[in-house]
């Protein structure tokens, strides 16, 4: 398979995946690399605001919420957000956003705010600045040609003290073009190196049988901690 034969993704693409229940990317447990390095993300801070781009219904949000932090997520597929609250037995209310942007689902205590909208239409006017970002499956779900735009968006949301934890996938993209998309170490440094300090925290062999069905014989998860340069 040629490297350039990949599927272009969009909010509608992900909405359809949820409608058809093709959500193999969802995990029914908290991400193991997040659990291992949670202290690096939080850095001893209390009640910080943590951003989850393309959040789906990840249990990682409940994990941070239970640690006393405020969670802000963005997801195009509303069923994912509704299922998160219902499956975790968290009461919530829903409201419409202005200008037809989408909708907002808010937990009863106000510490979980999940926006149903196009990620690229989200901005700091809605929620202010973020103290942390947990990006488990967002960067790898963005079209290659949208990556610079993505970095610009994320950067615009960060408070000066923000700690941005990013999990990427590395594999032979000539065998499987995505999504999810490969983000090599060099590609990551090219994207973030200009404005961010980067520390590679972990590398995990994550090849599973489903990845073999994609034609892969190796797949690694890389974990990076990035902070804004002064």
pLDDT reported for residue 198 = 98
| Burial of residue 130, with CB atoms counted within 10 A of its CB: 0-12 exposed, 13-18 middle, 19 or more buried | buried
In-domain check, residue 2 = no
Helix (H) or strand (E) holding 112: strand 112-116
pLDDT reported for residue 2 = 35
Mean pLDDT, residues 42-69 taken together:
98
Q: Is the pLDDT of residue 216 over 60?
A: yes
pLDDT-based confidence at residue 3 (cuts at 50, 70, 90): very low
- Per-residue model confidence as pLDDT tens digits over 139-167: 999 999 999 999 999 999 999 999 999 99
Q: How far apart are CA 194 and CA 113, in angstroms?
A: 31
> CB neighbours (10 Å) of residue 230?
5
In-domain check, residue 3 = no
- Give the distance, in angstroms, between the CA of residue 171 and the centroid of all CA atoms in the same chain: 19
Q: How far apart are CA 219 and CA 209, in angstroms?
A: 11
Mean pLDDT, residues 45-56 taken together:
97
In-domain check, residue 6 = no
In-domain check, residue 4 = no
In-domain check, residue 104 = yes
The domain containing residue 50 runs over which residues?
11-228
The DSSP letter of residue 43 is: T
Q: How far apart are CA 91 and CA 85, in angstroms?
A: 7
pTM: 0.94
In-domain check, residue 5 = no
Token representation of residue 1: 């398979």
- Per-residue model confidence as pLDDT tens digits over 59-114: 999 999 999 999 999 999 999 999 999 999 999 999 999 989 999 999 999 999 99
- Per-residue model confidence as pLDDT tens digits over 160-213: 999 999 999 999 999 999 999 999 999 999 999 999 999 999 999 999 999 999
pLDDT-based confidence at residue 14 (cuts at 50, 70, 90): confident
In-domain check, residue 53 = yes
The residue with tokens 């060099």 is: 186
Mean pLDDT, rounded, of the chain? 94
pLDDT reported for residue 1 = 33
pLDDT reported for residue 23 = 84
For the chain, the domain total comes to 1
Mean pLDDT, residues 29-41 taken together:
97
Mean pLDDT, residues 9-18 taken together:
88
In-domain check, residue 75 = yes
The DSSP letter of residue 99 is: G
CATH number for the domain harbouring residue 120: 3.40.50.150
């Amino acid at each position: 398979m040629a490297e350039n034969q990949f599927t272009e993704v969009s909010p509608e693409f992900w909405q359809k995946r949820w409608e058809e229940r093709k959500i193999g990317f969802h995990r029914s447990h908290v991400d193991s690399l997040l659990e291992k390095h949670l202290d690096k993300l939080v850095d001893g801070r209390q009640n910080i605001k943590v951003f989850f781009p393309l959040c789906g219904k990840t249990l990682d949000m409940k994990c941070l919420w239970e640690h006393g932090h405020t969670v802000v997520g963005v997801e195009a597929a509303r069923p994912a957000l509704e299922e998160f609250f219902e499956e975790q037995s968290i009461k919530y209310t829903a409201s419409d956003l202005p200008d037809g942007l989408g909708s907002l689902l808010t937990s009863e205590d106000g510490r979980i705010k999940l926006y149903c909208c196009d990620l690229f239409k989200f901005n700091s006017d809605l929620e202010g600045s973020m103290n942390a970002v947990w990006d488990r499956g967002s960067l790898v779900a963005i079209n290659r040609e949208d990556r610079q735009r993505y970095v610009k968006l994320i950067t615009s949301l960060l408070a000066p003290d923000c700690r941005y934890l990013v999990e990427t996938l590395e594999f032979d993209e000539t065998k499987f073009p995505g999504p999810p998309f490969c983000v090599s170490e060099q590609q990551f440094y090219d994207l973030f190196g200009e404005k961010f300090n980067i520390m590679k925290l972990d590398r995990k062999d994550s090849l599973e049988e489903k990845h073999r069905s994609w034609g892969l014989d190796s797949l690694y998860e890389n974990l990076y901690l990035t902070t804004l340069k002064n």
